[in-house]
Structure 1
Amino acid sequence: MARKLILAAVLTAALTSGAPILAQAQPATTAAPAAEWDSVLAGLDQSFAQWAEQAHAPGVVWGVVHQGRLVHVGVYGVRDFDARRPVDADSLFRIASMSKAFTALAVLKLRDEGRLSLDAPAEDYVPELRGLAYPTADSPKIRVRDLLNHTAGFVEDNPWGDRQQVMSEAELTALLRQGVPFAHVPGTRYEYSNLGYALLGRIITNVSGRPYKDYIEAEIMHSLGMASSGYDIFESDNARRAIGYRWENDAHQREPDLIHGTFGAMGGVQTSANDYARWIAFLLSAWPPRDGPETGPVRRSTVREMAQGLNFASPRSRQRPDGTPCPGSSAYGMGLFAIQDCELGAYLAHSGGYPGYGSYMLVVPDRDLGLFAFSSRTYNAPVQPLTEAALTLVRSGLAPVRDEPPTEMLAAAYADAQAVWRAGDILAVEDRLAMNVLLDRSAENWRTMLSGLRDQAGACDLGSAVRPAGRMTGLFTWSCERGVINGRVNLAPTTPVTLQAITLRFTPNTPGS
């Protein structure tokens, strides 16, 4: 029998409303007025509600994190059809493979503590792996790093792996002792493996001396204030749980509740929107690299390491979920996909699919923006609406690229470029030039080039700021009487720092401009 879903009230917290700070926010561009956020978010809520209804999702929750705050939560439907309790920001959903990021970070934390090495053979920490029959005589052994990056050589195992949640530690040991076949030589190719992340859970257990569940909950989740998150759903408040369903034969069928087991390391986390927003804010707080004290359970540089891929990906024409071509590239890092998008720029993402659940998250570090969504229908990952929501926020100007101030040495290099232009002579900063500059172009030819550009451009306004393209490279634009000067300064790898290049290009105004 068809069941009418309830559209619950949308919970909106504008940037200026005093929403709780979830992580130490970093300086960013001035926030847009609350009214602008409200208008855009109302449209996103409508889109999500339409998607949820069309996807036959019993319950959905989605959230937006910006500048360290949970600025918006939207909800749809019910937690369960029997009691018909509506979904809210504290409803508990299983997030499936989005759990892998917690496992990966726990492994990296143990590495930071000197308790394991990513480049050591995994069999050093899981002795049962010593009996594996590798595919060739010259196969390298599986490293811990290979498990993190899905390059261990195991076959893609989503249909099988998703049903192994209940596997006990003894059963995993027996599976390994029977032998695991290889799809590829380790370290030569990416192929997604849930078994690989189950093995990482075993590594966490063996190295930490605690079940991986206890280690991750205590050392990461609870440290971030994620008090309602964990792996064993039977330890949680049943009234808060979003019950998982499948859509089959034009009706919702309840999925069985899967008990906690060894494969929970690949997909067993249960969390709420309010809790998960703390995780998103923590990930974003790792950018940009900076001085200052560490405030999280794992250091910032380690979080950024999760974006390092090892799957031999190369740039290619990607397609967005709606089929739109988007040149870019992707690689699997450590628990997160690292993606370069033609519009969003660099972002990290992961989906989750599981009996009774589907989920998706993405974070755009340069924009201090994160989004996530959970659904209580089998394999119903809301990839398309969440990606469209991120694009809408970017296109609306509500999540601009974070301003990056130039380093002192880059600001000095830009001042040198301005001095050279004003003087019409490269020797105006002779004492700061790298040894290559006057070998690449003589001082006389510099004067000739600068004179020609000044005649073409006319008077120029040199007051614009330099735009960092790194700590030692900067771009700038000068508006001139008859066109525009686009420039670049590069510093040399010397101490003291010297100027290795100034590049200037004039573009004349078009007629009538």
Structure 2
Amino acid sequence: MPYRTADLALAAPALDELTAARVRDGRAPASAWAVLGPEGVVAAGAQGEGADTASAFRVASCTKSFTAATLLTFAAEGALSLDTPLTDVLDAAVLGASRAPTLGELASMAGGIPIDDPWADRQESMTTADFDRLVGEGVRLAYEPGTTYEYSSFAYAILGRVLERVGGRPYPELVRERLLEPLGLTGLAFDRTVDARVIEGFAKVEGAWVQQPWAEPGAFSALGGVVATPTALATWAGWLASAWRDDATDDVLAAGLRRAMQEPRTPVPGPAGSHYGLGLVVEEDPRHGRVVSHSGGYPGFGAHMRWHPESGIGVVVLENARYSGATLPATQALTLLLDGASTPAAAPALWPETAAAREVVERLLRSWDDDALVGVAADNVVLDESFALRRATAERLRERAGLAVDAPVAPLDAVALRSDSPAHLAWTVPGAAGRIRCEIRMTPVREPRLQTLALRLA
């Protein structure tokens, strides 16, 4: 499916509304976002007291993609292999299984280690000596390696220690030397020395926001220690997504290895088509196809990054509340972006009445007229929502999008649209500052009339 990516920046008002609602609804004190396209980051914003696009948040488990990519740099050099057993490179006692997991099994959440987030998320500052003692005493598996998906942050802490053993340097230094510096990534680090203003993390306790303690880098940093601005994390996501481009380069890490991170490896129970790759989650969207993502939850922070490999469109949402559930707004945002950019390969076969209703809606957006709506609407339209409320919505959206009253109506083949049937049409109306998504459905009678009219920022 073709995607129009030239005007992605016009989605900024919609993303601002989405994240403002998160703050207003008490999901987080601050919520920041960034949108990426095939050519890089195109827009960013932030809502909440003290937050702006230069604020740095902990990205929590989004860090796992950095760990997996660093692992692959060593694999590319032949220093290790994804098939290397853990016990070949680390003095670890493996309990409860017939063999040790391989590095690839650990990286793809098939190492057999049971889920451990509440405990592991509080261990970042553990010393290397204590970590070595911990794994030397025994890592207890719940499953045979390679047989079952189980999300394990401890597995990524173990991989971080493997990288230190192989690379001879502390994990944060390896990531910086092998990835961040060669890519020119700024606004991203493992501690408060990041070249950005670090925002504090909070948890809601008895209805009030309580600041959470800050964990310094340590033996568990490989599972969640990255601190980044939304633009920095989106730039990282864009570099991973660029591996799918026809002109992808092999600088820093070969495009084929970056694509390997985004290939399905371990099936995840739940929605069909969901897998864990290498430091990333791979899903299948029923309308848009493959989507790659990762969430992050940490004491004081929530994060989510996701992108659409086919189009190169992606989004990052960072919040400063404990396990805030940033997956929800990020998923909503990417769906909004993809719906607002997608165009069918062939023009839809609409009923004449559907096409005529679209023309009326376009005119209503520019200059509201109750009589014009009465001329095409079924009787449920005014009962479902008054014309006064519909007019207020249209005028607010027109102002936010910067749609001029004399703006020409674009032909259907020049706009992003979707049509499920001849009686349905959803399309995007661009303005000078934003976009409006319109959706209409017609009644199934001899002379169809408008039964659904939905308007929102896109």
AA in 1 matched with 2:187 = S
1:146-157 equivalent positions in 2, closer than 5 A: 146-157=105-116
Aligned in 2, Cα 1:395/1:115: closer, same or farther, shift over 3 Å?
same
Instruction: Write the deviation string for residues 347-375 of structure 1: whole angstroms up to 9, x where unpaired.
Output: 11111000110001101010111100100
**Aligned-residue CA RMSD in angstroms?**
2.4
AA in 2 matched with 1:274 = T
SS at match of 2:287: coil
Shift in Å at residue 226 of structure 1?
Answer: 1.6
1:347-366 equivalent positions in 2, closer than 5 A: 347-366=291-310
Out of 274, 281, 288, the position equivalent to 1:330 is: 274
Identity %: 31
Shift in Å at residue 293 of structure 1?
Answer: 7.3
Q: Scaled by the length of structure 1, what TM-score is found?
A: 0.64
Aligned in 2, Cα 1:249/1:29: closer, same or farther, shift over 3 Å?
closer
Report the Cα distance in structure 1 between the residues aligned to 2:62 and 2:315, rounded to whole angstroms: 13
Report the Cα distance in structure 2 between the residues aligned to 1:358 and 1:114, rounded to whole angstroms: 35
Instruction: Write the deviation string for residues 345-404 of structure 1: whole angstroms up to 9, x where unpaired.
Output: 1011111000110001101010111100100111113111111111112222x25699xx
Aligned in 2, Cα 1:293/1:72: closer, same or farther, shift over 3 Å?
closer
Aligned in 2, Cα 1:73/1:376: closer, same or farther, shift over 3 Å?
same
Shift in Å at residue 57 of structure 1?
Answer: 1.2
Out of 51, 65, 89, the position equivalent to 1:125 is: 89
Report the Cα distance in structure 1 between the residues aligned to 2:150 and 2:3, rounded to whole angstroms: 39
Report the Cα distance in structure 1 between the residues aligned to 2:301 and 2:154, rounded to whole angstroms: 19
Shift in Å at residue 204 of structure 1?
Answer: 0.9
Instruction: Give the aligned partner of residue 73 of structure 1.
Output: 44
Instruction: Give the aligned partner of residue 241 of structure 1.
Output: 198
Instruction: Write the deviation string for residues 4-63 of structure 1: whole angstroms up to 9, x where unpaired.
Output: xxxxxxxxxxxxxxxxxxxxxxxx8664557xx52x431232122112221341222101
1:41-60 equivalent positions in 2, closer than 5 A: 41-60=12-31
Q: Scaled by the length of structure 2, what TM-score is found?
A: 0.71
SS at match of 1:227: coil
Shift in Å at residue 295 of structure 1?
Answer: 5.2
Report the Cα distance in structure 2 between the residues aligned to 1:120 and 1:47, rounded to whole angstroms: 44
Report the Cα distance in structure 2 between the residues aligned to 1:232 and 1:270, rounded to whole angstroms: 6
Aligned in 2, Cα 1:343/1:77: closer, same or farther, shift over 3 Å?
same
Instruction: Give the aligned partner of residue 384 of structure 2.
Output: none
Instruction: Write the deviation string for residues 231-256 of structure 1: whole angstroms up to 9, x where unpaired.
Output: 123x336x711111111111111100
Report the Cα distance in structure 1 between the residues aligned to 2:344 and 2:88, rounded to whole angstroms: 43
Larger Cα-atom Rg: 1
Report the Cα distance in structure 2 between the residues aligned to 1:59 and 1:304, rounded to whole angstroms: 33
Out of 76, 87, 99, the position equivalent to 1:112 is: 76
Aligned in 2, Cα 1:31/1:196: closer, same or farther, shift over 3 Å?
closer
Instruction: Give the aligned partner of residue 54 of structure 2.
Output: 90
Aligned in 2, Cα 1:31/1:267: closer, same or farther, shift over 3 Å?
closer
Contact 1:367 1:399 in 2 (8 A): no
Matched positions, count? 347
User: Does residue 385 in structure 1 map to residue 343 in structure 2?
Assistant: no
Instruction: Give the aligned partner of residue 231 of structure 1.
Output: 190
SS at match of 1:285: helix
1:25-424 equivalent positions in 2, closer than 5 A: 31-33=5-7, 38=10, 40-78=11-49, 86-126=50-90, 128-129=91-92, 131-135=93-97, 139-233=98-192, 235-236=193-194, 240-288=197-245, 290=246, 294=249, 296-313=251-268, 318=271, 328-396=272-340, 398=341
SS at match of 2:147: coil
Contact 2:73 2:178 in 1 (8 A): no
Aligned in 2, Cα 1:166/1:313: closer, same or farther, shift over 3 Å?
closer
AA in 1 matched with 2:329 = P
SS at match of 1:141: coil
Report the Cα distance in structure 1 between the residues aligned to 2:185 and 2:228, rounded to whole angstroms: 8
The unaligned stretches of length 5 or more in structure 1 are: 1-27, 79-85, 319-327, 403-513
Contact 2:96 2:142 in 1 (8 A): no
Report the Cα distance in structure 1 between the residues aligned to 2:308 and 2:137, rounded to whole angstroms: 43
SS at match of 1:334: coil
Report the Cα distance in structure 2 between the residues aligned to 1:56 and 1:33, rounded to whole angstroms: 29
Contact 1:217 1:229 in 2 (8 A): no
Report the Cα distance in structure 2 between the residues aligned to 1:33 and 1:196, rounded to whole angstroms: 41
Contact 1:201 1:265 in 2 (8 A): yes
Report the Cα distance in structure 2 between the residues aligned to 1:188 and 1:70, rounded to whole angstroms: 38
Aligned in 2, Cα 1:399/1:299: closer, same or farther, shift over 3 Å?
farther
SS at match of 2:146: coil
Contact 1:91 1:241 in 2 (8 A): yes
